[in-house]
């Protein structure tokens, strides 16, 4: 039950727009063509059955999680896996953009006064969702259960009342001003385009195969049962909505979603109407939120394999993949702005990736089952994601996955061809580009690993002299701390001050003599008032005199208690890091001096070892193991 | 001549929209009310004369540059100066948003196919302008001269032909579908609102007083002459356009600017029509570009006084204030998106700041002249921005500035009242908020300076022991470099590895024994797969055992040749800086290891002192002065 709630939101939420997208395409052939939506919906339902049966096999085969990326990598190797990865990442971004745009459209259908602010509302929702996910959501099934079952309850209620009223003859069609006139004939191409649009109903169906590990034992069986339930519910709601939409003469429009029209016809514009819209908006938001878990997880997987920047594997302090979440939020926002938060403008980009990953995943299953069929009876092969075991009934299973791969592959081609001009071309260009970039990244990591490799040899370790160079901007308590540290090191040291302003450097020199009174302070002129360049010049000169040794550039850092206070102080580390780029054996040391808000007695270095009172992280020192 | 070109673009470009904004307000009283635009334009011209005369005095008084910020600070002190600063910064941002939005509107008037992409076009222009300014534009007068004189030439040509055709009776009014009907009567409030809108013609008039230093000697006289010329040209073009707009029955519209309507009536839709629109768009872009120089300069001035983050005083390597440029670009983009690149939506926010700064600046002049009047004859007072010298003719001068201050103050109030609901309220809230923030920042800097102050005493400098802690992620050539450096320092050292993955840490331990074979490697477990927290825990334990000494946390850094390569490697410095926040006497050292693309022989530390072949900055080592 909870498994359904957690994983179903993405798949089931697509019923909110799939019917409307079919009608929108058919509208080109006039209102009269709307009746074709029923056979189209039936074809999509049949496709859904095939995909579901096929995915049930994947769930049993990859009981530790079998997303398209893992299945493709396991059976076909790196290239197809990266293609699946690119397709899925693209689609996760689109899921956020589509679901939030459509969720907002449901709300503005009920409250037309907000209609002019669709883009702003969508952006606000994305920002809130990004922030919440950055702070970390406990993936508690209960929280997910509420909107999912709320929507399911409302959807079934709407269907039930709608059907009862239909048979009792009290379901009156909505009044529309005038029927839409045909601008093109109802040909096969148009029907296929409408079918493609409706196939967005299948997005999200793969969610369960990604998250098998979250199920109770027996995992695969529970996951497969949940998948069957989810698909059944999805088919019923999708067909029901399509049927009702047809009965009430719903017309796709930017002002009012088809769901809103159905609810209005069934309930009138009262309490239940708004409840139905709220439920629809909520499940769409849950669907978008699912991508906030899936995108960073897949990106981390690809990053761990070295195909995306390694930083994506870093979990933030709240156990979330922060970078992935931020990237997803930004890209989804760009899509929303660019496509003006219009679902139907985003749809041609959507679903290609989903179907590409379906195809790769099912094709991978075909190869896997073929391998199983050619093993010796009783033979078992383990690898780190799955276990192969001979199965005498492999042939019908292979046919099942084969049919799945073939059908989804055909749908992908139909989608690509019929939606090419509307935006599919972008995804068709984007996916290979991404794959190319992934491999560039991979080659970079391999190259660096090679350059760093010690190839088993024990390298010489030959220490040299160290010269510390203190960067002095002014002479204050923080400067004294730097000098103190430099002296503590026991190596040679010099201080330099970059003269941007002659008066100031005179003052610094004087203060240095009075308050430090030891060591050498060198004033380096900077005629162009630059900071970085004269420092680099000085270090380069010193380097050339120093053989086999190190220059330790010491800079002070005023450490503040809060982020905003810190933001008011120059972070020279970054600037200096850039300035000293490429210099071998130049080491950067940052000597912090803590400035505390409430302590009003901190003048100068009092030699005490004070840790702050407000240690953010309090955990006992962990036990350590050491190696001699 | 060149001075006019450099400083006039901002002021003169406002003629592109001032007339239109007057008509737009009058349209509420129906097309019949349009004839009121002529007396309104005359009143604005009179105001312009007063402001010009008043500013001439400022130019003579502050020959090193007398923007409102400097004049207010010099005569009234910090609070009014910060008010002027907030007002001016706000208006610079609005200048960019208004000028670019209007420039794009001129272009889309000529090419209606682009009309749907006004927002995108404006954003592209802002991004290009930001990038160009970040790279640094040589403020070459010649480059500025071309668009300014091009526009002036076209504007006068249009006026001349328009007037000739008017008197010869061949200037036929444009055909419009239907006259606009009045939705409110033509009352005083509406007239004042129209007047306020037209007062945007005065924006930019203060540019010359900011930039007196750029003029040839005698600076003040040349600047004053240029100001007079600029105002005259501005009055002629503004009145001319308003008159012509009236004659041709121009109607304000989002589809076509009034300038475009005038040009169409005068030239027909041919070559000269497009040339006129191009000229108008160009001078508007120049005006926006002026803000890209003014905003960062003022922000740097305020930052140097400690009212804005100090980073704003930092010049990038190309002699520009990079942060200010980026902030300006971002804020202007937000305005453009929020107000959908519609000039008339932005106008109610605009000009309040300008008139507030006019008022403060002229009032400052009044106080200054009053002071001069009460000096002894022959007495001279110098301060760092101006020189006061007794002047027997002080009284009429004071009256002149007084009239200027009074009139601009009244206009500001009229503007605030009549535009309040349309957006002026936002600026009325924003300016005090900004001033509040400026003073909060100022207090922070003062407080930090107090905490850092050595109050003249010579502090004790007492070195203590240093313990180096090496953070080891893996054992490779970069790790050897770290160990080498730690040994070079000659202090005690330990290495730690955070165990995120047991297999990996076993491998690291083994490699360490084989390839380093000395020192202690401590494996610190991280049950929650965190990095920062276990490091902090370890350092805190070590700190508690170390009295009066330092912990030197050494981390490796793989330094790449290019930005993109670098972006693929974790910058642990920032993460670690956050993790060790607030710990007293913990020093962070970054030991880089250079990875070069083309060198394929870099395995291990070969002990050689290699600087890169591609040193970005090549300058001879500067002469140094040293203090004992």
Complex-level ipTM: 0.73
- The predicted pLDDT at position B142 comes to 66
CB count within 10 Å of CB B275 equals 17
Torsion angles phi and psi, residue A316, rounded to 5: -70, 180
Angle ∠(B576,B579,B584) on CA atoms, nearest 5: 100
Q: How far is B565 from chain A (nearest CA, A)?
A: 8
The set of long-range contacts for B337-342, using a CB threshold of 8 Å and a minimum separation of 24, is B337/A337, B337/B119, B337/B123, B339/B97, B339/B101, B340/B118, B340/B119, B341/B100, B341/B101, B341/B104, B341/B105, B341/B118, B341/B119, B341/B121, B341/B122, B342/B101, B342/B118, B342/B254
Q: Does A175 have pLDDT greater than 80?
A: no
Region B442-451 average pLDDT: 90
Kindly give, in sequence order, each residue whose CB lies less than 8 Å from that of residue B71, ignoring residues fewer than 6 positions away. B58, B62, B84, B360, B361, B364, B365, B368
Contact between chains at A567 and B621 (C-beta distance less than 8 A): no
pLDDT at B388: 84
Q: Cis link prior to B516 (omega < 30° from 0)? A: no
Per-residue pLDDT at B139: 56
A451·B600 Cβ contact <8 A: yes
User: For B71-118, how does the pLDDT look when each residue is reduced to its tens digit (9 = 90+)?
Assistant: 999 999 999 999 999 999 999 999 999 999 999 999 998 888 888 788
Q: Could you tell me if A515 and B458 are in contact, meaning their C-beta atoms sit under 8 angstroms apart?
A: yes
Among A459, A522, A543, the residue with its CB nearest the CB of B611 is: A543
Confidence of residue B318 (pLDDT cuts 50, 70, 90): low
Q: Give chain B positions within 8 Å (CB) of A546.
A: 609
Residues of A in contact with B508 (CB under 8 A): none
Is residue B615 predicted with pLDDT exceeding 60? no
* pLDDT at residue A188 greater than cutoff 90: no
Candidates A315, A317, A336, A584: best to mutate against B (most CBs of B within 10 A) is A584
Q: Name the residue in chain A with its Cα closest to that of B448.
A: A595
Q: Does the distance separating the beta carbons of B524 and A622 come in below 8 Å?
A: yes
Token pair of B399 as six digits: 């009256």
C-alpha span between B243 and B257 (Å, rounded):
15
Nearest to A543 among B465, B609, B625 (CB): B609
| Beta-carbon separation of B461 and A480 below 8 A | yes
pLDDT score recorded for residue A141: 57
pLDDT at A531: 79
Backbone angles phi, psi at B523, to 5 degrees: -95, 115
Contacts of A117 in chain B (CB under 8 A): none
When mean pLDDT is compared across A304-318, A539-553, B105-119, B606-620, the lowest value belongs to B606-620
- Nearest neighbour of B515 by CB, restricted to A454, A489, A585: A454
Chain B CB contacts of A522 below 8 Å: 624-627
Q: Tokens at residue A463, please?
A: 């220490």
Chain B positions in Cβ-Cβ contact with residue A311 (cut-off 8 Å): 570
Confidence grade of residue B627 (pLDDT, cut at 50, 70, 90): very low
pLDDT at position A614 over 70: no
Closest by Cβ to B587, choosing from A485, A512, A607: A485
**Is residue A29 pLDDT above 90, yes or no?**
no
Q: What percent of chain B has pLDDT over 90?
A: 39
Q: Six-digit token pair at A121?
A: 């509302």
Q: How far is CA A24 from CA A9, A17, A38, in A?
A: 24, 10, 14
| Range name among A433-447, B189-203, B310-324 with the lowest pLDDT average | B310-324
- Helix, strand, or coil (residue A499): strand
**B contacts of A605 (beta carbons < 8 Å):** 459-461
Predicted confidence (pLDDT) per residue in B364-412, tens digit: 999 999 988 888 888 888 877 788 888 888 889 999 999 999 999 999 9
- Residue A607 predicted with pLDDT over 50: no
Predicted local distance difference test score (pLDDT) of residue B186: 82
User: Which pLDDT belongs to residue A539?
Assistant: 92
Q: Please, are residues A470 and B489 in contact by the beta-carbon 8 Å criterion?
A: no
Which is more confident, B22 or B254?
B22
CA of B101 vs chain A CAs: smallest distance (Å)? 18
Residues sharing a CB contact under 8 Å with residue B546, sequence separation 6 or more, in sequence order: A609, B464, B465, B467
Q: How confident is the model at residue B141 (pLDDT cuts 50, 70, 90)?
A: low
pLDDT at B620: 39
A550/chain B closest Cα distance in angstroms: 7
Q: What is the pLDDT at residue B140?
A: 54
Mean of pLDDT over chain B: 85
Q: CA of A568, closest CA in chain B: separation in Å?
A: 5
Gap between the Cα atoms of A174 and A575, Å rounded: 65
Check B454 against A465: CB less than 8 A apart.
Answer: no
- Taking contacts as CB-CB distances below 8 angstroms, the residues of chain B near A540 are 611, 615, 621
At residue B552's C-alpha, the angle toward residues B551 and B556, to 5°, is 145
Q: What is the pLDDT of residue A142?
A: 66
For the segment A567-596, what is each residue's pLDDT rounded down to a tens digit? 777 767 777 777 888 888 899 998 988 887
Question: Is B582 within 8 Å of A612 when comparing Cβ atoms?
Answer: yes
Closest Cβ–Cβ partner in A457, A514, A541 for B458: A514
- A181 vs B544: which has the higher pLDDT: B544
Superfamily per CATH, domain B2-174+184-445: Amino acid/polyamine transporter I (1.20.1740.10)
Cα–Cα distance between B607 and A276 in angstroms, integer? 72
Could you state, in order of their start, the residue ranges of all structural domains in chain B? 2-174+184-445, 466-594
CA distance B531 to chain A (A): 9
Give the model's pLDDT for residue B464: 87
What's the pLDDT score for residue B81? 94
**Of the given ranges (A389-403, B238-252, B476-490, B595-609), which has the lowest mean pLDDT?**
B595-609
pLDDT (mean) for B451-470: 84
Interface test with B, best of A118, A342, A617 (most B CBs within 10 A): A617
- Mean pLDDT for B180-202 is 86
Q: Please, what is the average pLDDT of chain A?
A: 85
Q: Which fold has domain A466-594?
A: Rossmann fold (3.40.50)
Please list, in sequence order, all residues whose beta carbon lies within 8 angstroms of the beta carbon of residue A185, skipping any fewer than 6 positions away: A29
pLDDT of A251 reads 86
What is the reported pLDDT for B330? 93
pLDDT at site A18: 92
Which residue among B337, B549, B604 sits closest to A454, beta carbon to beta carbon?
Answer: B604
Give the pLDDT confidence score for residue A597 in this predicted structure: 62
Cα distance from A582 to chain B (closest Cα, Å)?
6
* Residues on chain A touching B558 (C-beta within 8 angstroms): 448, 452
Closest CA of chain A from B293, distance in Å = 18
CB contact under 8 A, B584 and A607: no
Task: Output the CA–CA distances (angstroms, integers) from residue A53 to A60, B298, B367, B572, in the order listed.
Answer: 11, 67, 87, 46
Residues 6+ apart with CB under 8 A from B374: none
DSSP string of A325-391? HHHHHHHHHHHHHHTTT-HHHHGGGSSHHHHHHHHHHHHHHHHHHHHHHTSPTT-EEE-SS-EEE--
Helix (H, G, I), strand (E, B) or coil at A582: coil
The answer to whether the CB atoms of A464 and B577 lie below 8 A apart is no
Which helix (H) or strand (E) segment holds residue B591: the answer is strand B586-594
| B621/A455 CB distance under 8 A | no
User: Are residues B91 and B347 in contact, defined by beta-carbon separation less than 8 angstroms?
Assistant: no
Determine whether the interchain pair B485/A317 forms a contact, defined as Cβ–Cβ distance below 8 Å.
Answer: no
Distance, CA of B32 to CA of A338 (rounded, Å): 41
CATH architecture of the domain A2-174+185-440 equals Up-down Bundle (1.20)
Position B271 scores a pLDDT of: 87
Report chain A residues whose CB lies below 8 A from the CB of B613.
none
- In this predicted structure, which of A527-536, B37-46, B265-274, B531-540 has the lowest mean pLDDT? A527-536
- DSSP label of A623: P
The closest CB to that of A603, out of B454, B604, B610, belongs to B454
* Cα–Cα distance measured from residue B583 to residue B448, given in angstroms and rounded to the nearest whole number: 18
**From CA B293, how far away is CA B399, in angstroms rounded?**
33
């Amino acid at each position: 039950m909870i498994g359904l709630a957690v994983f179903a939101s993405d798949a089931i939420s697509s019923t909110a727009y799939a019917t409307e997208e079919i009608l929108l395409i058919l509208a080109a052939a006039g209102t009269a063509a709307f009746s074709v939506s029923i056979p189209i919906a039936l074809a999509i339902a049949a496709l859904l059955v095939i995909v579901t049966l096929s995915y049930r096999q994947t769930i049993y085969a990859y009981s530790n999680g079998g997303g398209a990326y893992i299945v493709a990598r396991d059976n076909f190797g790196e290239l197809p896996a990266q293609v699946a990865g690119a397709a899925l990442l693209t689609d996760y971004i689109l899921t956020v953009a589509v679901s939030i745009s459509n969720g907002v459209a449901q709300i503005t259908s009920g409250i037309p006064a907000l209609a002019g602010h669709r883009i702003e509302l969508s952006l606000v929702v994305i920002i809130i969702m990004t922030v919440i996910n950055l702070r970390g959501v406990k993936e508690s099934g209960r929280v997910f259960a509420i909107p999912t079952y709320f929507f399911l309850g409302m959807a079934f209620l709407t269907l039930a009342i709608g059907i009862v009223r239909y048979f009792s003859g009290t379901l009156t069609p909505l009044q529309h001003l005038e029927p839409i006139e045909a601008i093109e004939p109802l040909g096969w191409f148009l029907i296929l385009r409408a079918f493609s649009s409706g196939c967005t109903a299948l997005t999200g169906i793969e969610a369960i195969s990604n998250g098998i590990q979250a199920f109770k034992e027996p995992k695969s069986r529970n996951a497969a049962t949940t998948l069957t339930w989810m698909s059944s519910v999805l088919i019923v709601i999708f067909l029901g909505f399509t049927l009702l939409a047809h009965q009430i003469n719903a017309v796709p429009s930017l002002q009012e979603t088809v769901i809103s029209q159905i609810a209005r016809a069934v309930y009138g514009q009262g309490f239940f109407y708004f409840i139905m819209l709220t439920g629809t908006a909520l499940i769409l938001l849950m669907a978008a939120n699912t991508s906030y878990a899936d995108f960073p997880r897949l990106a981390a997987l690809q990053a761990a394999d070295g195909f995306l920047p390694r930083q994506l594997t870093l979990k933030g302090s709240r156990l979330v993949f922060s970078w992935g979440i931020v990237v997803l939020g930004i890209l989804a926002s760009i899509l929303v702005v660019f496509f003006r938060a219009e679902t139907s403008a985003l749809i041609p980009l959507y679903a290609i990736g989903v179907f590409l990953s379906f195809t790769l995943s099912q094709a991978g299953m075909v190869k896997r089952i073929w391998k199983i069929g050619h093993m010796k009876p009783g033979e078992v092969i383990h690898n780190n994601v799955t276990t192969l075991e001979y199965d005498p009934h492999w042939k019908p299973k292979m046919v099942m996955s084969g049919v799945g791969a073939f059908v989804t592959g055909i749908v992908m081609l139909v989608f690509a061809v019929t939606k090419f001009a509307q935006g599919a071309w972008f995804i068709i260009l984007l996916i290979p580009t991404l794959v190319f970039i992934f491999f560039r990244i991979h080659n970079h990591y391999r190259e660096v690993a090679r350059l760093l490799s010690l190839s088993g040899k024990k390298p010489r370790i030959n220490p040299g002299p160290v010269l510390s160079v203190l960067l002095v901007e002014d002479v204050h308590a923080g400067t004294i701390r730097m000098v103190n540290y430099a002296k503590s090191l026991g190596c040679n040291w010099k201080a330099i001050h970059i003269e941007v302003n002659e008066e100031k450097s005179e003052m610094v020199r004087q203060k240095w003599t009075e308050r430090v009174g030891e060591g050498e302070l060198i004033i380096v002129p900077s005629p162009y008032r630059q900071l970085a360049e004269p420092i680099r010049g000085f270090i380069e000169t010193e380097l050339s005199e120093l053989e086999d040794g190190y220059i330790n550039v010491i800079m002070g850092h005023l450490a503040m208690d809060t982020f905003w206070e810190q933001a008011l102080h120059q972070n020279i580390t970054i600037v200096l890091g850039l300035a000293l780029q490429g210099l071998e054996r130049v080491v950067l040391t940052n000597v912090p001096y803590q400035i505390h808000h409430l302590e009003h007695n901190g003048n100068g270095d009092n030699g005490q070892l004070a840790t702050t009172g407000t240690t953010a992280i309090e955990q006992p020192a962990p036990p350590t193991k050491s190696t001699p």
